[in-house]
Every structure is written in C-alpha cells, then in structure tokens.
A and B are shown apart, each in its own frame.
Chain A
C-alpha cells in the first residue's frame, strides 16, 4: 500500500549505483570549480564595520537612551517599572527626591540618582520602553553597545544613557525616510510609535 502523502513533499529515495562519469568525479569537480570561480568575482557582502555602518531598520532596537523633555528635564521618575519588566534583570536604579532649585533638571519630584543598565545582560527586547509610563526610556536604532575588553565598561550609567539634549521623540527611531524593505511593521513597535507620536503632540 502506498503511503499517503499529506504535503506532497515526499521524494522517492534512489540508491542506484554511480555512473562512470559520476565515479571519476572530474565533471562534478569542474562544475564545482566553475561555481566557486563565479563567486570569486562577485560583489562582496562584507561591511567594513568601524568605517562603514550597516543601515539599521526603523524598528531596530539598539542601545537605550534616557529621554529629556522639551525643556531639557529628565523624564525618568525612578518608578522601577522598567527594572521590573526587564526579563534579563539588567536594569537597576537608586531613586532620590528632587530638592529646591533642581526643577530645571528633573521633571517631577522624584528622579533616578543612579540608573544603570548592564549591556551584557540586556537582550534588547524593548520591554522597558513598553513598561515606562513616562516615555523616559527608549531603544535607539542608531547605536549598538560597543565592544570592550572590560566587563565593567558594559554597565552603562546615566553618563552614557541620558541624552545630551532633548530630541523630538520621533527622531529616536528612524530619523530618516522609512525604508519599506526593512520595515516589517512589528505590532509592538507600531504601538510604541503610536505612543511616541501621541506624547509628542501633547
């Protein structure tokens, strides 16, 4: 009884003896060599990394940034939701109370005195930015955590994470025109974008 094929991908296995031409290998070898010599002259796919950088897609999740608002005040209130949502437990922070005269530095009464992300632990899933109620943390598509020879240097503190000056949030991901080829319309990212654009308008 013939087996019923449900996928139509079944192939009859043949165990026939090699023919003379197959046994002397030479035609097959020449065929293989013609294939490799074609690759010899093909365009190379290598990107010479430090000098040339690969184009990151609009929804690429790279290194984090701690946002400031339009007046240059840090948005983070050290609520700890990002640390809680982080599946890799890469985020840690110490909260502090804003004192008088620091209103131009911190947006609300509470802020993060230290804020550290361990880039060796981080899996760049983006759940921290999902969790953040203040739109304070985002994953940029411009930078990746750089290679280093010291593990200690992979713990990014506020000095590396806080953005130097306020950028409109739309700039974080995909500042340039969207390349349709790279944009896959990931639902999570789209919702984030939606959130971003809304908050920017507000």
Chain B
C-alpha cells in the first residue's frame, strides 16, 4: 500500500512537472504566434508544420550559445539567480488540484500532488521566493541596468503581493479553507467564486500580471530603458532559465486563477450526466486546462495590447488603488457573511 502510494505520487509529480515544462515551452511558441496574429503577421512557420518545432529550435539555440560570465560578478550568486527562479517556478504546481480522482486497478488516485491545508499560503510563500531569483541575479551581475531591474522587480513584487494576498482573504472568508482542494470542492457545490467575488478576481488578475513581470507591468526587464533589465548580463541557458521561469509562472498563475475563481476542474451541470467517475474526472482535467489556456491567452492578449506603465503609475495603482480596494472588499464580504449568519 505504501509503495503504491509512493509510486503514484512520483508518477504524478513527474507528469505535472513534464506538463508544466511542456506548456511553458509551447507558451513561447504561442506567444510569438499570437503576437504576430495581433500584428497581422503569420509568425514562426519554418520549423516543422506551422512552426511547431520552433520551441525545440529555440531551446537548442540557447543551449549552444556562448556562455558569458562577467568577470566582476559574484559567480556563485550569478549562477544561483536563474536556478532559484526556475526552482520556485516549478515548485508552485504541487498544491494545485488538477482533477477529482480516477480509479486505477481498484485504487483511488487523487489528481493532486499534495493536499496541504495551507495550500494558498504555500503558493504565496513560494512565489515571493521567486523574486529572490531575480534580485540575486540582478545584483550579482554587477551591472547598473541589472541592478535597477532587480530593484524594480523587488519593489513591484512586494507591492503587488500585498494586494494579491488581501484579495484572496475575501475568498478564504467565503470558503473557510486555505486548501485549494477545499476551494475546488466548495465551488462545485456553490458555484464559481468569481460570481461572489468579482472584485477580488479583478484585483488578483492585475496582481498576477505584476507578479509574473508581464506587460503592462514588465518594468524589471524593460528593454527601452534598462537594456534587458535583470537579465542584461545573462546569456545561453541561464537566460533561457529566466525566460522559461516567466512562462512557467504564467502557467501557474493561470492555474491558480482558474482554480480559485473559475471552479477549478468543475464543469457546470456535469454531475447531472451521471458519467462514470474516470471519464468525469478526465473531463474535469480537460476543463481545467481549457480555463488555464484561456488565461494564458489573456496574458498574451494584454501584453500585445497595452504599453508599459510608468514607474510612478505602477506604484500609485498598487498602493492607492488595489490595496484599498481589496480592504474594502474584505469589509463588504465580512459584513455580508455576518448579516447572513444573523438571519
């Protein structure tokens, strides 16, 4: 029994890891493809049919590029930066429920790596570690542009993490649990949280853009001002790690948004169809990935629409816009819950 448990968990970890890498890989392809669609172009179409081998070609190119290590940099930290960014990006997916459970050889296999009761806090903890990767890399490069990018990343992530956390508190008050699985179950019984908490979702969405350092909040790697921002001095696969970590983060944020606000694996009216458990679970997984794909598309759509915020606009929006809004949302939610309890 214990052995099967370990084997299934390892298999799950492997699958989740592989899927997040695969999706990140193909996000780069679709990013380029969609960017060109938004600009009336075709995009990469040379490597394989429709250019679907483009990510492999890009990866191969990054591996064989000359690796430049600045002589005045702190070598240990310089290497640690991208490693940490990649590590934290890959760690987050552990607590996300990908589906209910499937039955394999008479055993129930939960489609979730681990259900810890502080799930959402774990995600916040790991995500806020992610900024260390950027900060350490930017600082260790010994380059003023890198340092400026790193400082921007740090201040931006700290500012927006606050609003993000506050927006989630209202959700937690509603579901009464920090575990993402409990949230998913709550939503399949009571309906998607976005219907109860549209404002929280709105704040969370904006903060997710800021946390993943994507346009319009891509000030840390702002090409027009800072050359390449925190990864100016990086080349070869270390640069690849930074870029890749961004796409994994995008995937994970999409997954978290789909899980918390859009019913996770829940498909409306699926329970009335009386499907066998395995098929229902797989449909649920497919539904979750459809929701995730939509959010990834939204990330790209916004990126290719909006110009970058100015630094003061970014700070004003975070501190005087989103945080007060999130606090008001908490107060309103609390009041409504209290009134409901009294009645």
Q: Does B2 contact A (CB under 8 A)?
A: no
Would A40 and B302 count as touching, CB distance under 8 A? no
Would B37 and A39 count as touching, CB distance under 8 A? yes
The contact of B38 among A24, A40, A43, by CB within 8 Å, is A40
The contact of A33 among B40, B41, B302, B321, by CB within 8 Å, is B302
Q: Does A46 contact B (CB under 8 A)?
A: yes
Q: Does B45 contact A (CB under 8 A)?
A: yes
Q: How far is the CA of A35 from the CA of B40 in the complex (A)?
A: 12
Would A40 and B42 count as touching, CB distance under 8 A? no
Would A44 and B40 count as touching, CB distance under 8 A? yes
Q: Which residues on A sit within 8 Å (CB–CB) of B304?
A: 36
Would A45 and B305 count as touching, CB distance under 8 A? no
Q: Which residues on B sit within 8 Å (CB–CB) of A32?
A: 305-306
The contact of B301 among A33, A41, A45, A46, by CB within 8 Å, is A33
Q: Does A42 contact B (CB under 8 A)?
A: yes
Q: Does B29 contact A (CB under 8 A)?
A: no
Q: How far is the CA of A36 from the CA of B36 in the complex (A)?
A: 11
Would B306 and A29 count as touching, CB distance under 8 A? yes
Chain A: minimal CB distance from B307 (Å): 9
Chain B: minimal CB distance from A191 (Å): 38
Q: How far is the CA of A37 from the CA of B300 in the complex (A)?
A: 11
Q: Does A181 contact B (CB under 8 A)?
A: no
B268-312 at interface with A (beta carbon < 8 Å): 301-302, 304-306
Q: Which residues on B sit within 8 Å (CB–CB) of A35?
A: 305
Would A36 and B301 count as touching, CB distance under 8 A? yes
A42-57 at interface with B (beta carbon < 8 Å): 42-46, 48
Q: Which residues on A sit within 8 Å (CB–CB) of B39?
A: 39
Contact mask for chain A residues 44-86; partner B; CB cutoff 8 A; 1 contact, 0 none: 1110100000000000000000000000000000000000000
Q: Which residues on A sit within 8 Å (CB–CB) of B41?
A: 44-46
Q: Which residues on A sit within 8 Å (CB–CB) of B321?
A: 24
Would A42 and B42 count as touching, CB distance under 8 A? no
Would B305 and A29 count as touching, CB distance under 8 A? yes
Q: Which residues on A sit within 8 Å (CB–CB) of B34?
A: 40
Would A33 and B305 count as touching, CB distance under 8 A? yes
A48 and B37 in contact (CB under 8 A), knowing A33-B305, A36-B304?
no
Would A46 and B42 count as touching, CB distance under 8 A? yes
Contact mask for chain B residues 309-320; partner A; CB cutoff 8 A; 1 contact, 0 none: 000000000000
Q: How far is the CA of A202 from the CA of B334 in the complex (A)?
A: 97
Q: How far is the CA of A39 from the CA of B306 in the complex (A)?
A: 14
Would B40 and A37 count as touching, CB distance under 8 A? no
Q: How far is the CA of A36 from the CA of B37 in the complex (A)?
A: 9
Chain B: minimal CB distance from A43 (Å): 8
Would B301 and A37 count as touching, CB distance under 8 A? yes
Q: How far is the CA of A42 from the CA of B41 in the complex (A)?
A: 9
Chain A: minimal CB distance from B203 (Å): 12
Which residue from chain A places its CB closest to the CB of B202 in the assembled complex? A26
Contact mask for chain A residues 5-32; partner B; CB cutoff 8 A; 1 contact, 0 none: 0000000000000000000100001001
Q: Which residues on B sit within 8 Å (CB–CB) of A42?
A: 40
Q: How far is the CA of A37 from the CA of B39 in the complex (A)?
A: 10
The contact of B40 among A24, A29, A45, A48, by CB within 8 Å, is A45
Which residue, of A33, A35, A45, has the highest number of chain B Cβ atoms within 10 A? Answer: A33
Chain A: minimal CB distance from B22 (Å): 24
Would A39 and B40 count as touching, CB distance under 8 A? yes
Which residue from chain A places its CB closest to the CB of B38 in the assembled complex? A36
Q: How far is the CA of A193 from the CA of B36 in the complex (A)?
A: 41
Would B37 and A40 count as touching, CB distance under 8 A? yes
Chain B: minimal CB distance from A35 (Å): 8
Q: Which residues on A sit within 8 Å (CB–CB) of B301?
A: 33, 36-37
Would A48 and B42 count as touching, CB distance under 8 A? yes
Q: How far is the CA of A129 from the CA of B41 in the complex (A)?
A: 37
Q: How far is the CA of A46 from the CA of B42 in the complex (A)?
A: 6
Contact mask for chain B residues 170-208; partner A; CB cutoff 8 A; 1 contact, 0 none: 000000000000000000000000000000000000000
Chain B: minimal CB distance from A202 (Å): 49
Q: Which residues on B sit within 8 Å (CB–CB) of A44?
A: 36-37, 40-42
Would B40 and A36 count as touching, CB distance under 8 A? no
Which 9 residue pairs across A and B have the least CB separation, nearest first?
Answer: A46-B42, A36-B305, A32-B305, A40-B37, A36-B38, A33-B305, A44-B42, A46-B41, A45-B40
Which residues of A are at the interface with B, using a C-beta cutoff of 8 A? 24, 29, 32-33, 35-37, 39-46, 48
Question: Could you list 26 examples of A-B contacts with CB < 8 Å?
Answer: A29-B302, A29-B305, A32-B305, A32-B306, A33-B301, A33-B302, A35-B305, A36-B304, A36-B305, A37-B301, A39-B37, A39-B40, A40-B34, A40-B37, A40-B38, A42-B40, A44-B36, A44-B40, A44-B42, A45-B40, A45-B41, A46-B36, A46-B40, A46-B42, A48-B42, A48-B45
Query: Given A39-B37, A39-B38, 10 other A-B contacts at CB below 8 A?
Result: A29-B302, A29-B305, A36-B38, A36-B301, A37-B301, A40-B37, A40-B38, A42-B40, A44-B36, A46-B41
